Amino acid sequence: MPVTPIQAPEAQRSKEHLLQTLPEEDLDFVVQFVLASGSLKEMALLYQVSYPTIRATLDRVIAKLRQGLNGAAPDLMTGLLADLVERGEIKVATAKQIRNVYRTVLKRNTE
């Protein structure tokens, strides 16, 4: 089955590749992820962190890429929560609960 490549918006294509918008730390993560054939288990061993921490890091990178594709501003709260999870300061479940409450409040404020 052929895969349709993801195309960046026209404005994005004329500047730089979407991956080039990521910080160097995230680019290094993407390179290691590809070299690990997408194995989160292998990534957790490589980075010497838990599987949920690697999952949170990947989710953060994915969110940044999606925002770049959509031309949206970065979600600072999600980024902060992901950083806290990566540093082991909060658990993934706690970060998800905080993010859900935050998004609910944002939604209410825009209605």
Per-residue pLDDT tens for 31-77?
Answer: 999 999 999 999 999 999 989 889 988 988 888 888 888 776 667 78
Contacts 24+ apart (CB under 8 A), 1-9: 6/69, 8/68, 8/69, 9/69, 9/71
pTM, full prediction: 0.61
Q: What is the pLDDT of residue 12?
A: 46
